[in-house]
Amino acid sequence: MRPAVVVTGTDTDVGKTVFAAALVAALGADYWKPVQAGLEGETDTDVVRRLSGAVQERVIPEVYRLRTPASPHLAAELDGVAIDVSRLAELPEPASTIPLVIEGAGGLMVPLTRKELQIDLFERWAVPVILVSSTRLGTINHSLLSIEALRRRQIPLAGIAFVGDENKDTERTIIEMGATRSLGRLPHLKPLDADTLRAAFAAHFDAAELRNRVLA
């Protein structure tokens, strides 16, 4: 199977797409958002294309593009679409040697259908997961709950990518009590564009280590 990593988060809007765009650029990876809910303005795939500078071919089309910005199970129902999880069970182009960065919708316990959660799909793929966690108040609870859910299903956790202003005790507490490691922290960028993102990722993350340890 091709080298792949799932970028998930403690919540919607936590910074998964921005982090994924930086990772795609740093690793020369393909990007895949299998289920996109919400098509107004830029989709996550559009944002990754803009922020990573990825050429079109590096971005794999979504399997489901749903109009409503809601949980996929509901967005699908409103669109009159039945999500068939078996269509998501295989990674695209499994024989490729180009690393694949996969972004989930929202957080781990988001329903794809009335019966299946996104974390069930991650379990089936059995690829390592990077958990994007903010450094804001409330993140310790969300992060430790997410880590526990991953462990219960024996989904490999590659580590935490923090997003936001430095918060030393919060980061330490999540890492220690979650028995995991920090991959780095992406500060809040202003402006946020492909250049500032590339520079921030290079300053705060070790791309070579990610390639060797996560995608080996």
Ligand X SMILES: Nc1ncnc2c1ncn2[C@@H]1O[C@H](COP(=O)(O)OP(=O)(O)OP(=O)(O)O)[C@@H](O)[C@H]1O
- The binding site for Mg ion (CB under 5 A) comprises 16-17, 44
CB of 78 to ligand X, least distance (A): 17
Q: Under a CB-based contact definition with an 8 Å cutoff, are residues 50 and 44 in contact?
A: no
List own/partner pairs for 190-197 with CB under 8 A and 24 or more apart: 192/18, 192/51, 193/51, 194/21, 194/25, 194/50, 194/51, 194/52, 194/53, 197/18, 197/21, 197/22, 197/25, 197/51, 197/52
Tell me: does residue 48 bind ligand X (CB under 6 A): no
Q: Would you give the binding string for ligand X spanning residues 197-216, x where CB under 6 A is met? A: --------------------
Closest CA to 212 of 158, 167, 149: 158
Indicate if 33 belongs to the active site.
Answer: yes
Closest CA to 163 of 195, 144, 139, 146: 139
Tell me: does residue 141 bind ligand X (CB under 6 A): no
Between 16 and 185, whose beta carbon lies closer to Mg ion? 16
Task: Please give the backbone phi and psi of residue 195, each rounded to the nearest 5 degrees, phi first.
Answer: -75, -45
CB of 186 to ligand X, least distance (A): 4
CB of 75 to ligand X, least distance (A): 12
Between 190 and 216, whose beta carbon lies closer to ligand X? 190
> Could you give the CA distance from residue 11 to residue 176 in angstroms, rounded to a whole number?
21
* Opening angle at CA 107, ends 103 and 140, nearest 5: 120
Q: Would you give the binding string for ligand X spanning residues 178-197, x where CB under 6 A is met? A: --------x-xx--x-----
Determine the interface stretch with ligand X among 16-24, 53-61, 74-82, 116-124 (rule: CB under 6 A). Answer: 16-24
- Which of 33, 115, 168, 190 is the catalytic position? 33
Q: Which residues are catalytic?
A: 33
Where do contacts with ligand X occur on this chain (CB under 6 A)?
A: 9, 12-18, 44, 106, 163, 186, 188-189, 192
